[in-house]
Chains A and B, each alone.
Chain A
């Protein structure tokens, strides 16, 4: 029997922790394994996927789906051709126009309640009816309506963190005052690690992290200069199969595949 698809929400307390990098590359890693994946840009305050994936021909946006003015089939753009010898990759983009950002930030509680219903409905329409293996929500940092809607709808929350002190404190608070309250399975990814992750000091970082957050650690990503240099323009899982970052992504995908 085919395993039922799962929803991942990639979230963080602070911005710039690597959510989008992680979302795109995890999606690509699963597609490389022959999975049918849909990646969603749910960061309506600062949309980035349309720009990073160089798509400018979207006729319907995720904004329209949440507004109830179009159905999800019209929002999804097939980018399977970007990943060679893989499964299928679809992306739902957030509208990067300033007017759209302004419109989304002025929504009221009632609208947000409807939006939650629309996001919850994706499980049936995409996993149930269309046979998707993974839905990956790239969210806005912190306590934003759109992000919490995504978290509530997800099976697993992947929290991207760095060693920055304000990020650590904020992440700890979110673990206990957000994910835990919604009874969400949560994994942490530490990004921009300065130590060699395979050395003893790397293992120490992992142990310290585990002790601090008391949730499973999905992975440690070293501070790769070539990831920074790529300026978000390279899908490592596709373009650099031998890169250590791609290997780390594969290990994360293994863990998610096994547990999710």
Chain B
């Protein structure tokens, strides 16, 4: 039923959807590649809403701490914006950010074609 609805819409929209899904898939692949690169000790079961406090930052592997700290400072950012600060490749930052999302430290929100990452600090700015 759902696929029938998609097919009824304009082909351009369908292509956009495919592209978006491919991007999501690509991000997941990047996470898997990074996880493999850093060995199994970094892998933690997916958690939900784990606070990203300073003690957690301290105990993180160096490569993730750099990304997490930069995001803490910026509050909300795309992988591109993080990469500009850390001077690492966008794809690398994207992988680390997605890994931090999987670990439950960050939240991710899509706005159009851009994915924004942020630390959830409800009630306070």
Q: Known A120-B72, A120-B73, A182-B69; judge A112-B124 contact (CB<8 A).
A: no
Assess the A148–B58 pair: CB atoms within 8 A: yes
7 A-B interface contacts by CB (under 8 A): A112-B51, A112-B53, A113-B51, A145-B53, A149-B54, A152-B57, A182-B58
Assess the A109–B58 pair: CB atoms within 8 A: no
Q: Known A118-B124, A121-B125; judge A178-B51 contact (CB<8 A).
A: no
B1 CB–A CB distance under 8 Å: no
> Which residues of B sit under 8 angstroms from A183, Cβ to Cβ?
66, 69
A117 CB–B CB distance under 8 Å: yes
Q: Which residue of the partner chain, among B52, B58, B125, contacts A113 with CB atoms under 8 Å? A: B52
Assess the B58–A114 pair: CB atoms within 8 A: no
> Which residues of A sit under 8 angstroms from B66, Cβ to Cβ?
183
A232 to B6, CA, bound (A): 73
A140 to B: closest C-beta gap in Å: 13
Contact flags (1/0) for B64-105 with A, using CB distance below 8 Å? Answer: 011001001101000000000000000000000000000000
Assess the B125–A117 pair: CB atoms within 8 A: yes
A68 CB–B CB distance under 8 Å: yes
Assess the B124–A181 pair: CB atoms within 8 A: no
A110 CB–B CB distance under 8 Å: yes
Query: How many chain B residues touch the partner (CB < 8 A)?
Result: 20
A50 to B73, CA, bound (A): 30
A191 to B65, CA, bound (A): 32
B8 CB–A CB distance under 8 Å: no
A149 to B72, CA, bound (A): 11
> Which residues of A sit under 8 angstroms from B51, Cβ to Cβ?
109-110, 112-113
> Which residues of B sit under 8 angstroms from A114, Cβ to Cβ?
121, 123-124
A4 to B: closest C-beta gap in Å: 15
B15 CB–A CB distance under 8 Å: no
A207 to B57, CA, bound (A): 33
Assess the A112–B54 pair: CB atoms within 8 A: yes
Beta-carbon nearest neighbor of B58 in chain A: A181
B62 CB–A CB distance under 8 Å: yes
> Which residues of B sit under 8 angstroms from A109, Cβ to Cβ?
51, 53, 55-56
Beta-carbon nearest neighbor of B125 in chain A: A121
- For window 171-199 of A, CB contacts with B under 8 Å fall at 178, 181-183
> Which residues of B sit under 8 angstroms from A68, Cβ to Cβ?
123-124
A113 to B68, CA, bound (A): 13
